[in-house]
Structure 1
Amino acid sequence: MEKSATLNLRVNPALKRDAESVLGRLGIPMSTAVDMFLNQIVLVGGIPFSVTLPNAPEGIDTTRMTDEQIHARIQRGYESYKAGRTQNAAAAFEKFRESHS
């Protein structure tokens, strides 16, 4: 199929760089990836993946909290920090990875 139409898109530069990195490892040029995406839209009659809001647990979904609830959670976190009831994030993630591998 002849390719003569041009798309001019504005995207986040970091997103573009990261996507190009992934596509480069796959050996797929960005233009081919966009072409594949557009073909899938035509084939499925819409966006070829589910477009939904993330299903965050209610306890951490700030879109469902009042300003007072958010501030109270931040205050509790700060108080935990001041009391020494925290741990290094890198160490916590490492412990998590070890227990789930």
Structure 2
Amino acid sequence: MKDILSYEKQLLAFACICKQIVLSFSHKERKERDFMANTAPVYARIETGLKENAESILAQLGISPSEAIKMLYSQIVLVKGMPFQSKLPDINHFSAQGITKAEFDTELQKGVDSIKNGRTHSAEDVDRMLAEEFGI
């Protein structure tokens, strides 16, 4: 009789454990279902190389692409705009867009005159000057 009670207690304990497992799975499924009901898909087409490079970096950070998009959207809402500056670059006077053809010809002639007069710079000097003046 004692063995039967012991067996019944074990069976009851096993049933309680099984019920707990079922309830925890139900809770997990319910949470997933609730989460899915409160989400919406976002579709975007981007270049394959960009996608692969970005996802490689995200993987190293332990962030899924969905989490990264959620972070971006959260920042857009937080700052009420893009979370980075997005603008056209200022027109640089030294680019062809920033000067007229006459001004360009004048600058070109200055360069030709400098070469004729022996006023030249080494590549290292040019790199140094560009770094000092423009940070490049």
**Distance in 1 (alpha carbons) for counterparts of 2:53 and 2:93:** 31
- AA aligned opposite 1:8: Y
Q: Counterpart of 1:14? A: 49
Contact preservation (8 Å) 2:91, 2:98: no
Q: TM-score, normalised by structure 2?
A: 0.43
Which structure has the larger Rg? Answer: 2
Instruction: Name the count of aligned residue pairs.
Output: 78
**Distance in 1 (alpha carbons) for counterparts of 2:99 and 2:54:** 33
Over the residues paired in the alignment, what is the CA RMSD in angstroms? Answer: 3.3
Q: Counterpart of 1:2? A: 35
Q: In structure 2, the residue corresponding to 1:2 is in which secondary structure? A: helix
Q: Counterpart of 1:64? A: 98
Q: Counterpart of 1:44? A: 79
Q: TM-score, normalised by structure 1?
A: 0.55
Q: What is the CA distance between 1:16 and its match in structure 2? A: 0.9
**Unpaired runs of 5+ in structure 1?**
77-85, 93-101
Identify the structure with the greater helix proportion.
2
Q: Counterpart of 1:28? A: 63
Q: What is the CA distance between 1:52 and its match in structure 2? A: 1.7
Q: In structure 2, the residue corresponding to 1:18 is in which secondary structure? A: helix
Instruction: Give the fraction of aligned pairs with identical amino acids, expressed as a percent.
Output: 34
